[in-house]
Amino acid sequence: MKSLSVKLGVMLVIIGLAIFGNIEAWGADWKLIEGSKGSYGDSAYYIDMKSIKMISEAKVRFLILTVFLPPGKTKPSIEEARKQGSTDYIELDCSEKKYRSVKSERESREGYTPFRPTHHWYNIEPDSVYEKMGEVVCDRK
């Protein structure tokens, strides 16, 4: 009888995590950041304004949604972007002008698969989408 209650408890925990694991996306306040142009198409970036958290005096963590667009496609609505995009938690060092991905989920042909970021800090290049993100999140301090 004890093993049945242990199994039931484990199942409830798993179901709870599945239901509430993505709750941030439900209550998100997505703001479109101008995208970037690439040789394989354009990208649109959205920041969840509710996810912005100061983690130190100069560092900010926030959630971004990235949507890759084939050439000629327009930016999708946020509902469409949520279906086809990928999400990343980004840390941005406002004083050092650097960023890194700390948690990521990338789209694959079969659906979403986890992507393990390197946690390496990258310099923010002038006129890049990360500079635009910094203008939004660093000014909220």
Domain annotation covers residue 14: no
Instruction: Give the number of domains in the chain.
Output: 1
Domain annotation covers residue 21: no
Concatenated DSSP letters of the chain = -HHHHHHHHHHHHHHHHHHHTTHHHHT--EEEEEEEEETTEEEEEEEEGGG-EE-SSSEEEEEEEEEEE-TTPPPPPHHHHHHH-EEEEEEEETTTTEEEEEEEEEEETTEEEEE------EEPPTTSHHHHHHHHHHTT-
Rounded Cα–Cα distance for residues 129 and 140 (Å):
17
Domain annotation covers residue 55: yes
Domain annotation covers residue 132: yes
| The pLDDT value given to residue 81 | 76
Domain annotation covers residue 7: no
Residue range of the domain that includes 74 = 27-138
For residue range 4-31, what is the model confidence (pLDDT) as tens digits? 664 555 454 444 434 444 444 457 899 9
Domain annotation covers residue 1: no
For residue range 64-98, what is the model confidence (pLDDT) as tens digits? 988 877 777 777 777 777 777 888 899 999 999 99
Residue 116 belongs to a domain with what CATH number? Answer: 2.40.128.710
Domain annotation covers residue 3: no
Domain annotation covers residue 59: yes
Q: Greater confidence, 123 or 10?
A: 123
